[in-house]
């Protein structure tokens, strides 16, 4: 049985790995020349409730990607405003490690292969048409195309194309596979009837910073620099995708994290103003290149789905990552993608899909986000293990823990220990 995954970000890689470990043949299609998408400029893991989710996924048997991240991490147990025990991975080398792992599993990898259309009949997705004219067929499909781009969305709903890591001008626009199949996707809002949300951070070339700031980043993984009072802008927090960073400290300070580059925890910042801050006199943006006044816009194409990650209205299409909900972050992408890939393999062999219980943080996130859209019609909130409404929910329900034994026991009590390591079919 063949599973085709469309989109090679963290969610798509997790879906491909999950389906392959379950025993399926897997083809992973990515429109650019790199896997991981925004993971190439992200770099933060294990902060706040993401620590719990990571340990849950390991106990569930889907820890492969997290183990690679842990192994090559630059900094561990980092604290910065509003966040505890964060891990920072090297954004400049992570993709090569992940690509080698994907290929080692025997997953077919099609890079620079943009899907442009679908073959759809009788409620089933039969195949994809690539920009080259090639057709890729499969038994079950997983869409992890994300919700950012194409350029028109950033121009119409943001501050213009920011020249970000997605590189739409070079590799073409993202399309929605679910909408090509006749599904009505939904769009997130940053205010009522104001569509899309700005990505939450930028990257500065670390070598463009002062020696003192570089030393602090190399030593501690974090540097916090005061913003002049006249330049503090609290209003910009409302436009950020990352609710966990929409705290006043992120308006009153320049907060830098060492991910190989210096991760600047704001959607954009005028370069002339940035260079007035001591230590940043020579600062230069490396992502997005237009970080002085813009960033990518997200949450434009989200598929309605069940808690098993199957897309409503298509018999053989699953989804993960931002395509599957108003989710924030790499951990969230890996969790949803892994479940989508595993269930795609189960469907291919005629087995019922798995739904993770709400006694686990991962299962509760998937169900809670679904409830907020389908029942509460909420397209304003975003969901992450690391902050905002869902992290508060985790704590109130007793799901937040950084004790591995406690998390493993919880997974075992739910009857799901190692489930993602079980082959559906040899």
The CATH number of residue 182's host domain is 3.50.50.60
Q: Do residues 10 and 93 both lie within one domain?
A: yes
Residue 293 domain flag: no
Q: Do residues 144 and 258 both lie within one domain?
A: no
Q: How far is CA 256 from the centre of its chain?
A: 20
What's the distance, Cα to Cα, between the start and end of the chain in Å? 11
Residue 118 domain flag: yes
Q: Do residues 19 and 161 both lie within one domain?
A: yes
What phi and psi, each to the nearest 5 degrees, are found at residue 197?
Answer: -140, 140
Q: Do residues 44 and 140 both lie within one domain?
A: yes
**Quick check: pTM over 0.75?**
yes
Return the beta strands (E) in 323-381 as ranges: none
Residue 328 domain flag: yes
Q: Do residues 119 and 33 both lie within one domain?
A: yes
C-beta of residue 228 within 8 angstroms of C-beta of residue 254: no
Residue 400 domain flag: yes
Residue 250 domain flag: yes
Closest by CA to 426, choosing from 3, 19, 17, 23, is 23
CA distance 179 to 118: 10
Residue 292 domain flag: no
Q: Do residues 241 and 322 both lie within one domain?
A: no
pLDDT of residue 241: 52
Using DSSP's 3-state secondary structure scheme, residue 343 falls into helix
Q: Do residues 396 and 281 both lie within one domain?
A: no
In tens digits, the chain (426 residues) has pLDDT values of 999 999 999 999 999 999 999 999 999 999 999 999 999 999 999 999 999 999 999 999 999 999 999 999 999 999 999 999 999 999 999 999 999 999 999 999 999 999 999 999 999 999 999 999 999 999 999 999 999 989 999 999 999 999 999 999 999 999 999 999 999 999 999 888 899 999 989 999 999 999 999 999 999 999 999 998 888 776 665 655 555 666 778 888 999 999 999 999 999 999 999 999 999 999 999 999 999 999 999 999 999 999 999 999 999 999 999 999 999 999 999 999 999 999 999 999 999 999 999 999 999 999 999 999 999 999 999 999 999 999 999 999 999 999 999 999 999 999 999 999 998 876
% of the chain at pLDDT higher than 70:
96
Please state, in angstroms and as integers, the Cα–Cα distance from residue 9 to each residue in 99, 143, 322, 323, 341, following that order: 11, 11, 10, 11, 13
pLDDT of residue 233: 73
Q: Do residues 157 and 216 both lie within one domain?
A: no
Mean model confidence pLDDT for the chain? 95
Q: Tens digits of per-residue pLDDT, 219-255? A: 999 999 999 888 877 666 565 555 566 677 888 899 9
Tokens 């210096």, located at residue: 262
Residue 426 domain flag: no
pLDDT of residue 321: 98
Q: Do residues 276 and 386 both lie within one domain?
A: no
CA distance 375 to 371: 5
Residue 168 domain flag: yes
CA distance 39 to 356: 25
CA distance 425 to 348: 10
Classify each residue of 271-302 as buried b or exposed e, where b means 16 or more C-beta atoms within 10 Å of its C-beta: beebeebebbeebbbbbbbbbbebbbbbbbbb
Q: What is the domain range of residue 239? A: 197-287
* Domain termination site, one of 255, 287, 319: 287
Q: Do residues 372 and 259 both lie within one domain?
A: no
Query: In this structure, what token pair is assigned to residue 201?
Result: 């951070």
* Number of independent structural domains in the chain: 2
* Domain termination site, one of 265, 287, 309: 287
Q: DSSP labels for 120-178?
A: EETTEEEEEEETTS-EEE-SEEEE---S---HHHHHHHSSS----TT-HHHH-----HH
Using DSSP's 3-state secondary structure scheme, residue 287 falls into strand
Q: Do residues 207 and 148 both lie within one domain?
A: no
* Domain termination site, one of 287, 320, 343: 287
Measured from the Cβ of residue 426, the count of other Cβ atoms closer than 10 Å reads 4
Q: Do residues 232 and 376 both lie within one domain?
A: no
């Amino acid at each position: 049985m063949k599973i085709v995954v469309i989109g090679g970000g963290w969610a798509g890689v997790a879906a491909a790995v999950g389906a392959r470990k379950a025993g399926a043949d897997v083809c992973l299609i990515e429109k650019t020349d790199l896997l991981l998408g925004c993971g190439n400029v992200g770099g933060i893991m294990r902060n706040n409730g993401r620590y719990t989710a990571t340990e849950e996924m390991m106990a569930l048997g889907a820890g492969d990607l997290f183990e690679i991240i842990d192994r090559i991490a630059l900094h561990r147990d980092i604290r910065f405003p509003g966040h505890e025990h964060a891990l920072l991975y090297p954004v400049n080398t992570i993709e090569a490690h992940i690509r080698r792992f994907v290929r080692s599993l025997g997953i077919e990898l099609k890079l620079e292969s943009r899907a442009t259309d679908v073959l759809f009949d009788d409620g089933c997705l039969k195949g994809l048409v690539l920009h080259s004219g090639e057709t890729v067929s499969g038994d079950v499909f997983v869409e992890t195309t994300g919700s950012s781009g194409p350029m028109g969305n950033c121009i119409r709903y943001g501050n213009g194309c920011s020249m970000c890591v997605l590189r739409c001008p070079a590799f073409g626009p993202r399309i929605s596979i679910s909408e090509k199949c006749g599904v009505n996707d939904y769009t997130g809002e940053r205010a009522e009837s104001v569509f899309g949300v700005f990505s939450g951070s930028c990257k500065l070339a670390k070598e463009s910073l002062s020696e003192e700031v570089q030393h602090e980043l190399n030593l501690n993984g974090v540097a916090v620099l005061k913003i002049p009072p006249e330049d503090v802008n609290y209003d910009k927090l409302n436009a950020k995708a990352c609710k966990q960073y929409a705290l006043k400290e992120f308006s009153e300070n320049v907060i830098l994290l060492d991910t190989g580059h210096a991760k600047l925890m704001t959607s954009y910042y005028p370069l002339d103003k940035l260079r007035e801050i001591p230590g940043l006199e020579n600062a230069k943006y490396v992502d997005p290149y237009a970080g002085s006044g813009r960033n990518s816009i997200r949450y434009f194409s989200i598929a309605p789905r069940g808690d098993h990650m199957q897309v409503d209205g298509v018999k053989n299409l699953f989804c993960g990552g931002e395509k599957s909900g108003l989710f924030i972050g790499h951990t969230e992408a890996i969790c949803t993608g892994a479940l989508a890939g595993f269930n795609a393999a189960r469907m291919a062999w005629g087995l019922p899909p798995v739904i993770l219980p709400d006694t686990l943080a991962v299962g509760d996130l998937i169900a809670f986000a679904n409830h907020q859209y389908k029942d509460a019609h909420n397209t304003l909130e975003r969901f992450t293990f690391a902050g905002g409404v869902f992290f508060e929910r985790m704590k109130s329900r007793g799901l937040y823990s950084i004790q591995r034994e406690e998390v493993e026991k919880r997974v075992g009590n739910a009857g799901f220990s190692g489930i993602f390591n079980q082959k559906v079919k040899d």
